[in-house]
Amino acid sequence: MAIVFRKNNQNAEILNESKFAQEDSMQEYLISNPEIVPIYEIEEDARLLVAAREFSTASGPIDALGFDEHGNIYVIETKLFKNPDKRTVLAQVMDYGAALWKHHADSSGFFDRLDEYSYKYFDQDFKEKFCSFFGIEDAVEAFDNIKSNLEDGSIKFVVLMDKLDARLKDLISYINQNSKFDIYAVELDFYKHNEFEVVIPKLYGAEVRKEVSSRTAYVQKRGKWDDQSFREQVGELPVDQQRAILAIYDWAVNKSDKIIFGTGATRATVNPRFFGFNKNSFFTLYSDGQMSINFGYIDTVDKRVELMQFLNKEFGFMKFNYKAEELISQYPVIDRGKVFANYQKIIDTLDKFTAKFKEKEEL
């Protein structure tokens, strides 16, 4: 397709379509111009941060790994129409997603690697880049959602091509309509004229996804949890597990300065804030009993080290062995089994730790 343009109602010119010569060129263009993936057509005003290129997994490198402000994860695969393996691109991109989910159940390692890529491309850590890109001061809720999405395998897949054939479009529509997966395709029309470039992205799959979301119960919408819904979800577990989770939860409600509920699609999360120690939550409790220690949310190195040393001394059932400079990107998980077996020790330790800062506030 050609574009005809003119200036001052005269001298009309024809702008003929150009092509990306290599998939590397398309990847580079995506890194510099993430707007060519129009996720704002999926969710109004959404923007995409492409945080890494060639992000390695056990199934091979992901061409581009992206995030939006809400903590949704995007696995993006670029393909030229002339590439003979374009027929398997959906299987390929989902294989990458499966590898990402399977090998990063502990989100701490995932954030470590994001920091590495972020320093490589942006000369700052991932949290700094995320906040500056989206113009926010606090990424706690978004990072909680990233952790939840990673652990739940809730990943959005995007195929970026210079040309899509009808069969691929039909396959994407079929998968979106008959599964829980979110798969989108973007076809790029690319034009060049002197020093100017024009890219027209066309998104496929979003309308089907919206129709499915509005009429089916099993597609989870991200929403705010609260005390009632948290307790209801915990109530689905065996009684002994409920007892452990609610004991920690009730302690947090009674002792914290503020309770923040997460917005995960499948699991409720609670993030208690103790302002005497830190403005953000230093631990997260999940409705299935999992916990995480959020060293990365703590605002100074000294306080991160202080917390780690205190937990190592008091917990007894697990140790955190990080260097001081590593703690900025660490969110280690306490698995459900350890929480259920040691919930009273966890409460006693948290109570002892937070009491120190309550005393300082009173003084």
Whether pLDDT at 121 is above 80: yes
Q: Which of 285, 303, 299 is nearest to 346 (CA)?
A: 285
Average pLDDT of the chain is 84
Rounded Cα distance, 271 and 281, in Å: 5
Question: Which residue would you say has higher pLDDT here, 93 or 249?
Answer: 249
Q: Where are the alpha helices (DSSP H) in the chain?
A: 23-32, 89-103, 107-122, 126-134, 140-152, 166-178, 206-215, 227-234, 239-255, 301-314, 336-362
The C-alpha angle 299, 303, 307, rounded to 5 degrees, equals 125
Question: Which residue would you say has higher pLDDT here, 246 or 220?
Answer: 246
Q: Which of 117, 131, 108, 68 is nearest to 294 (CA)?
A: 108
Residue 183, beta-bridge partner list: 157
Whether pLDDT at 191 is above 80: no
Instruction: Report the pLDDT averaged over residues 30-57.
Output: 86
Whether pLDDT at 329 is above 90: no
**Whether the Cβ atoms of residue 192 and residue 215 lie closer than 8 Å to each other:** no
Q: pLDDT band at residue 212, thresholds of 50, 70 and 90? A: very low
Q: pLDDT band at residue 79, thresholds of 50, 70 and 90? A: confident
**Spatial CB neighbours of 73, under 8 Å, sequence gap ≥ 6:** 65, 66, 67, 100, 146, 149, 150, 154, 155, 156
Q: pLDDT band at residue 354, thresholds of 50, 70 and 90? A: very high
Rounded Cα distance, 62 and 166, in Å: 25
Q: pLDDT band at residue 244, thresholds of 50, 70 and 90? A: very high
Rounded Cα distance, 288 and 230, in Å: 10
Which two structure tokens, joined as six digits, stand for 149?
């999405």
Question: Which residue would you say has higher pLDDT here, 217 or 234?
Answer: 234
In the structure, how many helices (H) and strands (E) does the chain have? 11, 14
Whether pLDDT at 283 is above 80: yes
**Whether the Cβ atoms of residue 223 and residue 263 lie closer than 8 Å to each other:** yes
Q: What is the pTM of this model?
A: 0.65
The per-residue pLDDT for 218 is: 34
Whether pLDDT at 344 is above 90: yes
Which two structure tokens, joined as six digits, stand for 270?
């609670």
The per-residue pLDDT for 144 is: 86
Which two structure tokens, joined as six digits, stand for 99?
């590898």
The per-residue pLDDT for 265 is: 66
Rounded Cα distance, 164 and 174, in Å: 15
Whether pLDDT at 132 is above 50: yes
Span 3-20, pLDDT tens digits: 666 666 666 676 666 666
Question: Which residue would you say has higher pLDDT here, 354 or 85?
Answer: 354
Phi, psi dihedral angles at 7 (to 5 degrees): -125, 130
> Residue for token digits 């990365």?
296
**Whether the Cβ atoms of residue 87 and residue 159 lie closer than 8 Å to each other:** no
